[in-house]
């Protein structure tokens, strides 16, 4: 059957129109959300659009056309202007739809989503899970679950949570892997993601809760406030802090901390597009020879920025991922996308500014339930 397009102000409204027109055999081919303007472009509103078709051989019933009334002449300038604005809006929407269809035809990745899983699929999309990944997840559930159970929302949600858990491998907490010498951990990442606060949280937990000896090194000499912030936390937990200016200096400070169980290195934030600064960071990491390098990313960043950062910092070295600011993020699907795309395990997440409390080991089950919006799921 020829695909049809349905629109609504919300995704649920559009889905209702799909069901009303195509019945329960409807298969979703594509979804998108965009904004349209009316009232001469001054008012902006959301449009949720679904392209679907019916797998039934029978075409949907088409109500008889209403008898045409007398033609109305639009002979006033105001009416003509309003008509042109409406036509322009419709043409823009049509152009966007055609572009989407062309791109999808090229990629050959049009998702086929069973009607019973539409609600779960659209929730994943709305939470910014990549469309291909969302389709892959629901198709996997369809192949594993008996059709009778697909209408049991709670049952399907549990199965989806299990599926997402498998896509979110966890690295576990920091563990010393050597009998002699410190376990050296370096944190790298873009500016403003919260590396310094994250270092402080890790150090405080290691020292105060696990009773480990910890040394701190900062290379973030570009921000005096960052050094003073870390020094304050180092004084509170009774751990030494060293400020280094060069890779050579870094080697000396690491030697001086040879008796510590853990040494945590805070590096200066770098723009993923600054090749010179990334080169300096690469030299510092090479000099430190850390046991682990964690790439710190903000859950509030756009998917494009996250991919850009992961790609460029990955040229230095990335062993594990830390996601910060989950408490400020509207959509957590980007965390799943990046863990899958970078193919690195998630070590920690942070969910606030409080030291040492607002940090947790990356727990796949908790994250999966948060992404799905399961009842009782919480960051705390």
How is the chain split into domains, by residue range? 4-54, 109-167, 183-372
Rg (CA), the chain: 27
- Convert the pLDDT of each residue in 326-340 to its tens digit: 999 988 999 999 999
Q: What is the DSSP letter of 24?
A: G
What's the CA gap between 191 and 266, in Å, rounded? 12
User: Which two tokens mark 244?
Assistant: 């280094």
Name the residue with tokens 């349905």: 6
Which H or E run includes 38? strand 26-38
Please tell me whether residue 33 adopts helix, strand or coil conformation: strand
What's the CA gap between 231 and 226, in Å, rounded? 9
- Convert the pLDDT of each residue in 24-83 to its tens digit: 667 777 777 777 766 555 566 778 888 888 766 455 455 555 555 444 434 445 545 555
- Convert the pLDDT of each residue in 239-294 to its tens digit: 999 999 888 899 999 999 999 999 999 998 999 999 999 999 999 999 999 999 99
Which pLDDT value is given to residue 107? 42
Which pLDDT value is given to residue 241? 95
Cis peptide before 356 (omega within 30 of 0): yes
Q: Calculate the CA dihedral of residues 312, 315, 343, 206 and round it to 10 degrees.
A: -90
352-363 mean pLDDT: 92
Residue 323 has pLDDT above 90, yes or no: yes
% of the chain at pLDDT higher than 70: 80
When pLDDT is cut at 50, 70 and 90, the band that residue 226 belongs to is confident
When pLDDT is cut at 50, 70 and 90, the band that residue 84 belongs to is low
When pLDDT is cut at 50, 70 and 90, the band that residue 88 belongs to is low
- State the alpha helices, DSSP H only, in 145-246: 153-166, 195-204, 224-237
Which pLDDT value is given to residue 75? 47
Domain 183-372 falls in which CATH fold?
A: Rossmann fold (3.40.50)
221-235 mean pLDDT: 85
> What is the Cβ-side half-sphere exposure of residue 127, based on CA atoms within 13 angstroms?
22
When pLDDT is cut at 50, 70 and 90, the band that residue 154 belongs to is confident
Residue 163 neighbours by CB under 8 Å, 6+ apart: 137, 140, 141
When pLDDT is cut at 50, 70 and 90, the band that residue 108 belongs to is very low
Query: Cβ distance 268 to 220 under 8 Å?
Result: yes
| First vs last C-alpha separation in the chain | 48
Closest CA to 361 of 351, 372, 375: 351
Q: What is the DSSP letter of 241?
A: E
193-204 mean pLDDT: 96
Query: Cβ distance 243 to 227 under 8 Å?
Result: yes
């Amino acid at each position: 059957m020829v695909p049809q397009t349905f629109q609504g102000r919300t995704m649920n409204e559009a889905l209702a129109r799909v069901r009303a027109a195509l019945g329960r055999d409807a298969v979703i081919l594509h979804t998108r959300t965009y904004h349209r303007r009316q009232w001469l472009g001054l008012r902006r509103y959301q449009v949720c659009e679904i392209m679907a078709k019916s797998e039934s051989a029978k075409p949907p019933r088409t109500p008889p056309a209403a008898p045409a009334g007398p033609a109305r002449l639009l002979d006033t300038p105001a009416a003509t202007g309003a008509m042109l604005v409406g036509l322009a809006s419709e043409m823009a929407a049509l152009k966007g739809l055609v572009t989407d269809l062309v791109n999808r035809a090229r990629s050959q990745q049009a998702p086929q989503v069973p009607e019973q899983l539409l609600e779960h699929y659209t929730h994943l999309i709305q939470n910014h899970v990549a469309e291909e990944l969302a389709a892959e997840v629901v198709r996997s559930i369809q192949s594993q679950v008996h059709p009778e159970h697909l209408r049991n929302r709670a049952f399907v949600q549990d199965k989806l949570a299990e599926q997402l858990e498998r896509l979110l491998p966890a690295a576990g907490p920091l563990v010393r892997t050597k009998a002699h010498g410190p376990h050296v951990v370096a944190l790298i990442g873009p500016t403003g993601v919260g590396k310094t606060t994250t270092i402080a949280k890790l150090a405080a937990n290691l020292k105060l809760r696990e009773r480990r000896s910890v040394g701190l090194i900062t290379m973030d000499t570009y921000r005096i406030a960052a050094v003073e912030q870390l020094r304050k936390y180092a004084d509170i937990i009774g751990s030494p802090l060293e400020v280094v200016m060069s890779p050579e200096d870094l080697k000396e400070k690491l030697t001086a901390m040879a008796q510590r169980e853990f040494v945590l290195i805070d590096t200066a934030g770098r723009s993923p597009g600054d090749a010179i600064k990334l080169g300096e960071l690469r030299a510092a990491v090479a000099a430190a020879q850390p046991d682990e390098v964690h790439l710190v990313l903000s859950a509030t960043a756009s998917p494009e920025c996250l991919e850009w950062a992961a790609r460029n910092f990955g040229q230095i070295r990335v062993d594990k991922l830390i996601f910060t600011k989950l408490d400020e993020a509207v959509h957590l699907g980007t965390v799943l996308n990046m863990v899958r795309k970078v193919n690195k395990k998630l070590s920690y997440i942070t969910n606030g500014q409080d030291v040492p409390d607002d940090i947790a080991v990356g727990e796949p089950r908790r994250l999966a339930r948060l992404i799905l919006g399961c009842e009782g799921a919480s960051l705390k």
